[in-house]
Structure 1
Amino acid sequence: MEQFIVSARKYRPQNFSTVVGQSHITTTLKNAIRNQQLAHAFLFCGPRGVGKTTCARILAKTINCEHPGADGEACNTCQSCVSFNEGSSLNIHELDAASNNSVDDIRSLVEQVRFAPQAGKYKVYIVDEVHMLSTSAFNAFLKTLEEPPPYAIFILATTEKHKILPTILSRCQIFDFKRITTNDTVEHLEEICEKESIHADKAALQVIAQKSEGCMRDALSILDKIVSFTNGELSYQNTLEHLNILDADYYFRMMDCMLKQDLAGAMLLYEDINRKGFEGDLVLNGFADFIRNLLLSKDAKVAVLVDVVESFRNRYVEMASQLSAGYLVSALNVLAEAEINYKGARNKRLHVELALIKLCYLQQAIELVSDTGKKKLTETRPMNFRVLQPIAHPESLQQLSGSDRMPPAGQVGLAPKPQQPNQPQQPLHQPLHQSLPQPLPQPPAPPAPSASPAKTKGPVLMIEENIVTGKAKPSTPKLGSLEKLRQQVSSSAQNSTVIPTIFLTDEVLKLAWQEFVEQLKANRNPAAQSFELAELRVVDRQTFTVVTPNNLQQKFIDSERIPLSEFMQQRFHNRYLTFSVIVEQRDDFTMSVEIPLNSKERFQQMVEQYPLVKELKDRLKLELDY
């Protein structure tokens, strides 16, 4: 019985012309060989299974060929080519850096470089998966790689170029291999099927090429597996079944249900998919890819990016013509969010079903947003320009109202918080406002828009007036329109009552502070005592400082910082009011601590009280142990 050889090895290219999808690499190498401009070190990098090691072997065989062709290809008939094809050539050395990545392995390789080839021109050293070498091994390889003997050529291959040291990269000629396109993969698979007498549908080969993601070795492995599964008969259906891929027909039927808002049909269809054993995340990912293809199919310029089976291409274009780009983008957002959160969901099936429910009613939601379905999302609405009108600053209100004098500082301001229209203004906290001066009456209306801001005396504030250019603003906007929301905001701003801002003074600040302390006491808050002992200092009209004698009281006040800030801003009608808490030592809080006397101090105190004690000590010539 003949031994079976997998297609990836049996049909490995033997010369540059049979390499698939890497013409930019093979052409460069053949020209370098023909012009005798070979570098001493090459670095082949790119994805897996695209021909890096294959091209390295072909290059090693071609440069040692005794009778190379005019096009730079090896003859495959000379002694050197025959020995290479049989695997007995002594001029080619391959090292797997994944399993031989130590310094000793590289030193052994460097020692072999010293010996010249017995036959042929060059000794070629192919180091596969070179990124697996350790840093010490790379450093041991540097000098030899920079200045090798004239007969030595190094070919390094890797899938992760970023892991290689820059000192290695600078010593090599770098060739970047690209992924093999779907069309090139399908053509190569068709040639192999023809040689092996395998009956394969083109749609099945296209599915295999898409599944391989540009890797020829994976495509050949999948082909061998399906051939064994189907006894040489590759059809579209059995290929999908073996690769566990959901047929695109399910996605077309699912989209039909969503266009009709047929939730029952969509749920039954997902039940059928679930029974076939497909996981929810695979369905979400496949449906998102399907909608992405529909979105690309709407524009002929990018339709070439749709990588689908040829028989489905016209169906994609037909389905895309029935859908708006806004719907497809919104559907992609829903599916992307569902796929991200799928892993954390406990009930996986319910999570997918919720995404399908959203998609079934997505079109209806978009129509409701776009003015009750009568205006499309792509219609152009008249643009709204905001014109800034000047009004007088609070400090110049006396000029507008005609009053003879300005009120005291700290009594005039504009409050950002409006009240409901047609409702009498009530004081928020009577105890504080009874002790405060009454606010000024409302100023007259601002000047007309045509008035020049330069004529207004004093500082100027700016208010916004919304006007519509191009068309008259509709009097009764329709439900759900953005114009209605703008009208509501504008009317509420016009009908709002202006509450004067109360600027900070020592008197009103202490009253408000004491009121907050009373609230703390009513709630039995332990921080009330710290608030009573604190000292208040007004910095400016909307900033004050709280001074505490120690860190403990500072922490108590900081713990109530948010409620205090909200209370003060509400009392003074000023949301820009701020305060800070600092610690300063105070004399009235200094505690006297009695320090005990030592032995010498106690004796001196005793002598001062009883002088005869010292005389007795001197007469007896006593020495005291202090």
Structure 2
Amino acid sequence: MEPFIVSARKYRPQTFKDVVGQQSITNTLTNAIENNHLAQALLFCGPRGVGKTTCARILAKRINDDGTNDPDEDFAFNIFELDAASNNSVDDIRSLIDQVRIPPQTGKYKVYIIDEVHMLSQSAFNAFLKTLEEPPKHAIFILATTEKHKIIPTILSRCQIFDFKRITVKDAANYLKYIAENQGINAEDDALHIIAQKADGAMRDALSIFDRVVSFSGADLTRKAVTENLNVLDYDTYFSATDLILSHAIPELLVLLNTTLALGFDGHHFISGLASHFRDLMVCKHQQTIELLEVGENAKQNYLEQSKKTSGPFLIRALEIANDCDLKYKTSKNQRLLVELTLMKLASIDFDGEKKNPESVAFANKTEDFIAPASFYENKSKVRAEASPSNKVVKEPALVEKTPIAEAPRQAASTSKQEEQVETALATAVAEPEAEQLSAPEEVPVPTPAKKIQLDIASKRVSALSISSLKAKKLHESARKGEGIDVDNLPKHPFTEEELHKHWNEFVAKIDANGQKILASSLATDIPKLKDDFVIAIELPNDTMKKEVEREQFGLMEHLRANLNNHSISLKISVNEETAKKFAFTPEEKYEKLREKNPTIDLLRKTFDLDL
């Protein structure tokens, strides 16, 4: 029986045309040889298994080939391969330098291939510098490494650098298909793509995996055999999981996860693969990005079909959730629960990217503070007492009791279906029991315009989504803008500065009791002064306090207008930094004040040598 030769050695390229996925480098080297522009020091760098050493050997043969095609010609004596991992001392480099001086016996060049050159010691690099910069005419150095950043800059500057790239999945799959045909193996395209993906850009790894899978499955290489042997999850698992997520089938989804874990896969593997699956669905959404999908033709059709069932917002949200689980997995104490919770979140996403079952109700117990007209908050019991006992339901009740909303669905303005859900929730939330419905009095007195804008200063907290609060806020805004009010007919009774101070202090005390400490402190900073044309002037220490008062002055002005019975009152705020000294004295200022009142205190300080 003939000895078995692994595919990585058996199918190692012998010419530049056979090298897979490095066309730009092979074309450059070919042109350099033909035009006699080849440098004497070359550096091949890149990931493992992409053809660095192979290209170095092919180059070594090509530069000594004179075109005679003599079958007996052998240039093995002109090619020297040195493993820098085991020959990394200064003595090894000195021995190499001594050999470089001897010209070749046959051929034109002596080629020195130093593999894993980054393993050389610092002293060995320094000993190699002079020879690398000015080698003999018959010597060419080819350095190969997977870690270019470990090579000192003085070596890099003396070499012509070639960066080898990772081999694409498509190129690797095509080369595997060529090898399978040579060996008489019937291989599915999807199986070869899985092998190429598993190799992660390294052709040598792909050939090693190919040999292993062929030993397992024989002459028929199927996708199922590859996934079983390589311990990877099949596409079908993720297609099934995505279908269950789209149908919001949480129980079936958890059963699928349990089945996957029973096969020996961990949750991290499952969730990271699911995130990659969502990414592949995303690239299928646009014609320009389909080429980024690195799968076989059959799997590609399945991806295209499933991508039509999903929307862009759904995939973006699903990718965010899956990626968040991927980041938290290693630090989680209960990793299975984390994955199950992630799957439940994914199954709760609606097709437009919004959650059907949100983790928290967005508008639950959301309240908003504003000052409503007094006419809106009149005594409700009085209206009920005047109402007839027939309990008629008023179509447009004058007063509606506010009802906070406990739960409300998240609004999504893009769909009419969700708008209907919000309207239904609002109608349900504000519906009162039959016993609480208001019967309408036949005649309800209409408040005068002056009374309409008299506001209850006590702020009421009402639900932001109840119908009662919406009506109150509308009346409130109308009152603020003065809609429907004849301003000229409003009262303008004169008042004294003492009355102004009295009601001003009442307002400050009231808002301070209600918790508006900052506004109360700002209003108490200065004593208001009454100017001509009912203008109230105050001075504040800085612009910050001025903006605070200007933003909240509406309640103050309504309080003063209602209590002083004058609706021509206006507020003028100015900034005077000297005002702050009334309330914040430095130790020196305090001492000066005390000395003004009692000059003998200065004698006391000097007598006892006191410090401030």
TM-score category of the 2 structures, normalised to the smaller one: 0.5 to 0.7
1:506–1:537 Cα contact (<8 Å) kept: no
2:187–2:222 Cα contact (<8 Å) kept: yes
1:327–1:366 Cα contact (<8 Å) kept: no
Structure 1 residues 439 and 130, CA gap change in structure 2 (3 angstroms): same
Q: Which residue of 1 aligns with 2:313?
A: 326
Q: 1:495-514, aligned counterparts within 5 Å?
A: 508-509=583-584
Q: Which residue of 2 aligns with 1:393?
A: none
The CA deviation at 1:181 is 1.8
The CA deviation at 1:461 is 10
Which amino acid in structure 1 is aligned with residue 72 of structure 2? Q
Q: Which residue of 2 aligns with 1:147?
A: 134
- SS of alignment partner, residue 288 of structure 2: coil
Structure 1 residues 369 and 444, CA gap change in structure 2 (3 angstroms): farther
Q: Which residue of 1 aligns with 2:12?
A: 12
1:437 and 1:157 map into 2 onto residues whose CA distance is 78
Q: Does 1:247 align with 2:251?
A: no
Residues 369-410 of structure 1, C-alpha deviations (whole Å, 9 max, x = no match): 443762699xxxxxxxxxxxxxxxxxxxxxxxx9999xxxxx
Q: 1:370-519, aligned counterparts within 5 Å?
A: 370-371=411-412, 374=415, 425-426=512-513, 439-440=527-528, 508-509=583-584
The CA deviation at 1:346 is 1.6
Q: Which residue of 1 aligns with 2:57?
A: 57
Q: 1:291-302, aligned counterparts within 5 Å?
A: 291-302=278-289
1:41–1:145 Cα contact (<8 Å) kept: yes
2:530 and 2:42 map into 1 onto residues whose CA distance is 84
The CA deviation at 1:126 is 0.2
The CA deviation at 1:258 is 1.5
Structure 1 residues 460 and 354, CA gap change in structure 2 (3 angstroms): closer
1:148 and 1:21 map into 2 onto residues whose CA distance is 32
The CA deviation at 1:234 is 1.1
Q: Does 1:161 align with 2:155?
A: no
Which amino acid in structure 1 is aligned with residue 305 of structure 2? E
2:111–2:140 Cα contact (<8 Å) kept: yes
2:170–2:294 Cα contact (<8 Å) kept: no
The CA deviation at 1:308 is 2.1
Q: 1:171-190, aligned counterparts within 5 Å?
A: 171-190=158-177
Q: 1:67-216, aligned counterparts within 5 Å?
A: 67=67, 75=69, 77-80=70-73, 83-84=74-75, 89-216=76-203
Structure 1 residues 132 and 504, CA gap change in structure 2 (3 angstroms): farther
Q: 1:336-347, aligned counterparts within 5 Å?
A: 336-347=323-334
The CA deviation at 1:322 is 2.3
Residues 475-523 of structure 1, C-alpha deviations (whole Å, 9 max, x = no match): xxxxxxxxxxxxxxxxx9686659999987677458xxxxxxxxxxxxx
The CA deviation at 1:108 is 1.2
1:505 and 1:428 map into 2 onto residues whose CA distance is 23
The CA deviation at 1:442 is 11
2:193–2:294 Cα contact (<8 Å) kept: no
1:198–1:232 Cα contact (<8 Å) kept: yes
Residues 181-230 of structure 1, C-alpha deviations (whole Å, 9 max, x = no match): 22221221122112222222121111111111221100000001111112
Unaligned regions of 5+ residues in structure 2, if any? 357-408, 419-493, 498-503, 536-541, 560-572, 591-607
1:428 and 1:317 map into 2 onto residues whose CA distance is 60
- SS of alignment partner, residue 246 of structure 1: coil
Which amino acid in structure 1 is aligned with residue 415 of structure 2? K
1:538 and 1:300 map into 2 onto residues whose CA distance is 77
Q: 2:256 aligns with which of 269, 273, 280?
A: 269
2:71 and 2:142 map into 1 onto residues whose CA distance is 23
The CA deviation at 1:241 is 0.8
Residues 437-461 of structure 1, C-alpha deviations (whole Å, 9 max, x = no match): 874389999x9xxxxxxxxxx9999
- SS of alignment partner, residue 285 of structure 1: helix
- SS of alignment partner, residue 153 of structure 1: strand
Q: Which residue of 1 aligns with 2:43?
A: 43
Structure 1 residues 427 and 63, CA gap change in structure 2 (3 angstroms): closer
Which amino acid in structure 2 is aligned with residue 12 of structure 1? R
Which amino acid in structure 2 is aligned with residue 314 of structure 1? Q
1:444 and 1:217 map into 2 onto residues whose CA distance is 94
- SS of alignment partner, residue 81 of structure 2: strand
1:103–1:136 Cα contact (<8 Å) kept: yes
1:65–1:78 Cα contact (<8 Å) kept: no
- SS of alignment partner, residue 127 of structure 1: strand
Which amino acid in structure 1 is aligned with residue 57 of structure 2? R
2:182 and 2:554 map into 1 onto residues whose CA distance is 86
1:145–1:171 Cα contact (<8 Å) kept: yes
2:40–2:140 Cα contact (<8 Å) kept: yes
2:552 and 2:129 map into 1 onto residues whose CA distance is 75
Of 148-157 and 14-23, deviating more is 14-23
Q: Which residue of 2 aligns with 1:29?
A: 29
1:246 and 1:442 map into 2 onto residues whose CA distance is 82
Structure 1 residues 177 and 507, CA gap change in structure 2 (3 angstroms): closer
Structure 1 residues 359 and 43, CA gap change in structure 2 (3 angstroms): same
1:427 and 1:31 map into 2 onto residues whose CA distance is 86
The CA deviation at 1:36 is 2.2
2:546 and 2:17 map into 1 onto residues whose CA distance is 75
Which amino acid in structure 2 is aligned with residue 170 of structure 1? S
Q: Which residue of 2 aligns with 1:521?
A: none
Residues 137-188 of structure 1, C-alpha deviations (whole Å, 9 max, x = no match): 1111111011111100000111122222222122111112112122221221
Q: Calculate the TM-score normalised by the size of structure 2.
A: 0.63
- SS of alignment partner, residue 190 of structure 1: helix
Unaligned regions of 5+ residues in structure 1, if any? 69-74, 378-401, 406-411, 448-457, 465-491, 511-534, 540-585, 591-626
Aligned residues: 430
Structure 1 residues 278 and 438, CA gap change in structure 2 (3 angstroms): same
- SS of alignment partner, residue 95 of structure 1: strand
Indicate the percent of aligned positions where both proteins have the same amino acid: 46
1:219 and 1:177 map into 2 onto residues whose CA distance is 17
2:18 and 2:153 map into 1 onto residues whose CA distance is 33
Which amino acid in structure 1 is aligned with residue 513 of structure 2? Q
The CA deviation at 1:283 is 0.7
Structure 1 residues 508 and 314, CA gap change in structure 2 (3 angstroms): same
1:187 and 1:460 map into 2 onto residues whose CA distance is 71
Q: Does 1:258 align with 2:245?
A: yes
Q: Which residue of 2 aligns with 1:284?
A: 271
1:30 and 1:429 map into 2 onto residues whose CA distance is 82
- SS of alignment partner, residue 94 of structure 1: strand
The CA deviation at 1:328 is 1.2
The CA deviation at 1:231 is 2.5
Structure 1 residues 138 and 588, CA gap change in structure 2 (3 angstroms): same
Residues 538-558 of structure 1, C-alpha deviations (whole Å, 9 max, x = no match): 79xxxxxxxxxxxxxxxxxxx
- SS of alignment partner, residue 271 of structure 2: helix
Structure 1 residues 251 and 437, CA gap change in structure 2 (3 angstroms): closer
Of 313-322 and 492-501, deviating more is 492-501
Q: Calculate the TM-score normalised by the size of structure 1.
A: 0.62
1:43–1:157 Cα contact (<8 Å) kept: yes
